[in-house]
Amino acid sequence: MRKPLVAGNWKMNNPIESSRTLLQKILYNAEMLDSILAKEENACSIDIALFPPSVYLREAQEVLTGSDLHWGTQNVSAYDEGAYTGEISASMIKGFGCDYVLIGHSERRCLYEKLELDQYVLDQIVAEKYAQAISHDLTPIVCIGETKEDYESGKTEQVIARLLDILIEHKGAHSLSKAVLAYEPVWAIGTGHSASPEWAQQVHAFMRARVAAHDKKTAQGLRIIYGGSVKASNAAAIFSKPDVDGGLIGGASLDVEAFTHICFAAALHQK
């Protein structure tokens, strides 16, 4: 069975209240949720991971240590150390008690695209960061998704396959047993227009099949989560699909009640 994962990406947002207060409220609701789920016949436990801005990592460590919640960073350097101003290495991330890291989020890809790097080069950078995370026992959540132009021209599978093949080339298909994939249709992120549950299922199934062509066992256990305007109102429909194992949540992760509702929806759909 695949345990659902709900990951909250705060992006570069300041909570309305203090970050410590938000962390405490999310933790409290998560603990209350466990009590509720224990009484639900068809519910399962889930993993919850939070990704605050790096300046809040110390607070995340202080509030969440000893709990069942996970935390991580929104990026990781492709290098161990050196003259890379502004970068954060995997070993530094581990020092804050993190066990997850986001890699290849479309909003970071946009920054690289302004440097006019082509998509193949960007995928290679993602693969190098992926290798760093794996080698430091961090669980990478690797974001993969197509732009509106790719979507409208029918290139979704081509875009997905390119990065998956590069990851497998770098570390082998079995390495994905230590990772999570996040399907992120770029045209849906932050727009309020989520992909339909049917479209999410189609793409997730393609991703799993692509990995299965190399390693069926790894593909069967691989968690593939959906990211792209997941809200309390649509989470249950998306998570009900057989190849959707949770969500990468943006804006709604800053709303305690909405985030809790999304976590509850995930807990009702273990695969």
Domain ranges of the chain: 5-267
Is residue 193 scored above 80 in pLDDT?
A: no
Of the candidates 194, 187, 254, the one whose C-alpha atom is nearest the C-alpha of residue 229 is: 194
In order of 6, 50, 160, the CA distances from 250 in angstroms are 11, 10, 21
Is residue 22 scored above 80 in pLDDT?
A: yes
In order of 108, 264, 267, the CA distances from 40 in angstroms are 39, 11, 10
Is residue 263 scored above 90 in pLDDT?
A: yes
pLDDT tens track for 198-254:
999 999 999 999 999 999 999 999 999 999 889 999 999 999 999 999 999 999 999
Q: HSE-up of 169 (CA within 13 Å, CB side)?
A: 11
Q: Is 136 labeled as catalytic in the residue annotation? A: no
DSSP, residue by residue, 90-155: HHHHHHTT--EEEES-HHHHHHHHTTT--HHHHHHHHHHHHHHHHHTT-EEEEEE---HHHHHTT-
With contact defined as beta carbons under 8 Å apart, do 263 and 26 qualify? no
Whole-model pTM?
A: 0.95
pLDDT tens track for 135-184:
999 999 999 999 899 999 999 999 999 999 999 999 999 999 999 999 99
Is residue 49 scored above 90 in pLDDT?
A: yes
CA–CA dist 232, 85 (Å, integer): 38
**Tokens linked to 45:** 């436990």
Q: Count the neighbouring beta carbons within 10 Å of the beta carbon of residue 96.
A: 16
- 3-class DSSP assignment, residue 167: helix
Is residue 17 scored above 80 in pLDDT?
A: yes
pLDDT tens track for 115-132:
656 778 889 999 999 999
- What pLDDT band is residue 110 in, cutting at 50, 70 and 90? confident
Name the architecture of domain 5-267: Alpha-Beta Barrel (3.20)
- What pLDDT band is residue 113 in, cutting at 50, 70 and 90? low
Is residue 109 scored above 80 in pLDDT?
A: no
Is residue 267 scored above 90 in pLDDT?
A: yes
Residue 112 has what pLDDT? 61
Residue 116 has what pLDDT? 59
Q: Is 105 labeled as catalytic in the residue annotation? A: yes
Residue 18 has what pLDDT? 93
Residue 76 has what pLDDT? 97
CA–CA dist 103, 73 (Å, integer): 9
pLDDT tens track for 72-105:
999 999 999 999 999 999 999 999 999 999 999 9
- 3-class DSSP assignment, residue 6: strand
Consecutive H or E run containing 173: none
Catalytic member of 70, 105, 204, 269: 105
Is residue 14 scored above 80 in pLDDT?
A: yes
Consecutive H or E run containing 225: strand 223-226
Catalytic member of 59, 70, 184, 204: 184
